[in-house]
Amino acid sequence: MSMDADQRQYQDTRTAHIRIAAITPVDESPVDGALVPREDDVPTTVESYERLFGELLDSVYDAVLITDAGGRIIRTNARAYEFFQYTDVEILSQNILHLISNADNELLGIMWENLHDNRHVFIEAHCICKDRSVFPADITVNNLHMTEAGQLCFFIRNITSRVETEAKLKDAQKELVRTAHSAGMAMIATGVLHNVGNLLNSINVSCDQLSSVAQHVVFNQLEHFKERLQPHRETFQEFVEKTPDAARLAEAFIQIGEKLLQERDLIARETESLNMRVGMIKDVVATQQECAKVGYFRENIELRSIVDHALAIQNAVIERNALQLKLDFDELPPIAVQKAKILHVLVNLITNSIDAMAGNDREDRILTVATTTQDGFACVAVTDNGIGIDGADLNRIFNHGFSTKVNGHGFGLHTSANFMTEMGGRLTVTSAGVGQGATFTLWIPDNDRQNREAERATE
């Protein structure tokens, strides 16, 4: 038997606390023969029975108080003296109702009513010591049929240590909840920063595009023509007639006009893209605010529209990296989702796929996005033929702080996986290994379809 014993103060210093480790029971052969008490072990006189009874009371761990029908104490054990701090003479002059806080004759009557048919009464209360201090106690009351009027036997256990331990556990639980809340808020904040960072990268690309347009050579040509034509504003007709290359000048203006129209279209597209991404940043903040609410807003929407939205956000980056885009959409009915969260997960996965393919040298860099249904879920799979994922990393790819990128922070996939879990879905990954690309799949619960299938199954 494995045990450890220590001596601790629990109202007194005479109690040894022993812990026994649990072990698997071992079958033991039964002992042959009956146990026969020795004659000198059996009390034979009233005095010996009384002595045995007294020793039995004193051996009990709890305080034991025996009272008459009215609650007057007529016998106790040594533990009662220690708990209540009375002498043996003093305690016999007390009524049990004086030792239990807020106890009265009504309580005594309730105890008697409930002690019929050998039932027990259990009381949670505070007991009062001689110096008027109190301690929490568990009290068990039994009926002794030693007299016609009956007697009550009170087993009182001091639970001060247990109550203090429970209070410490409650405080520890509150601290854990507070710490978990703080950690959760920090996790949400890092997710928000990560998603905003992805969007800011796309905004930077659009800003670079707009900046290159502003510095385009066509504007330098316009500046050159302005300097050449400015002196002839009042005599432009005469200038055209006398200038040999006037026709070439007109052709140049036509070409510049066509180029300006192209630049105007590019500016319009990038401006629209910038507005979209700024709106996405607002959605990121709104999603963070939703995390503080009890419920989340769902809307019926076609998955393809969310995918198109996510691809539009990353369109400039896709074109800059010369990626081939393949789309494979099944016909899916609208599904109730939290659009902002699905959109941010898709943007994060597409960003990761672009980064994964930027890290390899192959020319046919292909980004594939496909939708389908499976096992009551609507699925969106984002596949790339980039650098792939080592098998040892697959089981921890969604862990907070883990990243396969040199400058990665490990926030994006962790937050994305949490978003999917919050919506009742999941995020999974497959990869054949390093250099073999990877597929991330969003599993979005189609609750309407699951309900329909369940109804058909019960028909």
Domain residue ranges in the chain:
3-23+40-158, 179-290, 299-458
The percent of residues above 90 in pLDDT, for the chain, comes to 28
Question: What kind and span of H or E run contains 121?
Answer: strand 121-128
Half-sphere exposure for 392 (CA within 13 Å, toward CB): 1
Q: 219 pLDDT exceeds 70?
A: no
Among the listed ranges 47-56, 157-166, 280-289, 327-336, which one has the minimum average pLDDT value?
280-289
* 348-to-46, 305, 308, 382 alpha-carbon distances in Å: 88, 17, 14, 11
Summarised one tens digit per residue, pLDDT across range 5-38 is 333 333 444 444 445 555 555 555 555 555 555 5
pTM: 0.45
Q: 449 pLDDT exceeds 70?
A: no
Alpha-carbon gap, residue 151 to 144, rounded angstroms: 5
The β-bridge partners of 268 are none
What does CATH list as the number for 299-458?
Answer: 3.30.565.10
Q: 220 pLDDT exceeds 70?
A: no
Higher confidence at residue 444 or residue 312?
A: 444
Three-class DSSP category at 273: helix
Q: What was the pLDDT predicted at 369?
A: 95
Backbone torsion region of residue 56, taken as left when φ is above 0, otherwise alpha when ψ lies between -120 and 50, otherwise beta: alpha
The β-bridge partners of 20 are 3
Summarised one tens digit per residue, pLDDT across range 309-334 is 888 877 777 888 889 999 999 988 89
Provide the H-helix boundaries in 140-235. Answer: 160-214, 217-229
The percent of residues above 70 in pLDDT, for the chain, comes to 68
The β-bridge partners of 125 are 137
Q: 264 pLDDT exceeds 60?
A: yes
Give the gyration radius of the chain's Cα atoms: 42
Half-sphere exposure for 416 (CA within 13 Å, toward CB): 27
Mean pLDDT of the chain: 78
Among the listed ranges 76-90, 152-166, 252-266, 370-384, which one has the minimum average pLDDT value?
252-266
The β-bridge partners of 124 are 138
Summarised one tens digit per residue, pLDDT across range 351-406 is 899 989 986 777 789 999 999 999 889 999 999 999 999 988 998 998 877 877 76
Q: 196 pLDDT exceeds 90?
A: no
Task: Give the other-Cβ count within 10 Å of 443's Cβ.
Answer: 20
Q: What was the pLDDT predicted at 199?
A: 67
By C-alpha distance, which of 355, 354, 352, 345 is closest to 303? Answer: 345
Task: Spell out a b/e string for 154-184, using b for 16 or more CB atoms within 10 Å of the CB, else e.
Answer: bbbebeeeeeeeeeeeeeeeeeeeeeeeeee
Three-class DSSP category at 12: coil
The topology under which CATH files domain 3-23+40-158 is Beta-Lactamase (3.30.450)
Task: Give the other-Cβ count within 10 Å of 321's Cβ.
Answer: 14
Alpha-carbon gap, residue 309 to 170, rounded angstroms: 48
Task: Spell out a b/e string for 368-393, using b for 16 or more CB atoms within 10 Å of the CB, else e.
Answer: bbbbebeebbbbbbbbbbbbbbeeeb
Q: 149 pLDDT exceeds 60?
A: yes
By C-alpha distance, which of 402, 309, 379 is closest to 350? Answer: 309
Alpha-carbon gap, residue 202 to 213, rounded angstroms: 17
Confidence of residue 96 (pLDDT cuts 50, 70, 90): very high
Q: 294 pLDDT exceeds 50?
A: no
Q: What was the pLDDT predicted at 5?
A: 38
Which tokens hold the place of 164? 């203090």
Alpha-carbon gap, residue 82 to 60, rounded angstroms: 13
Contact between 388 and 436 (Cβ < 8 Å): yes
Number of H helices, E strands in the chain: 14, 14
By C-alpha distance, which of 395, 382, 369, 377 is closest to 443? Answer: 377
Backbone torsion region of residue 273, taken as left when φ is above 0, otherwise alpha when ψ lies between -120 and 50, otherwise beta: alpha
What one-character-per-residue DSSP string does 334-400 give? -EEE-HHHHHHHHHHHHHHHHHHHHTS--S--EEEEEEEEETTEEEEEEEE-SS---GGGGGGTTST
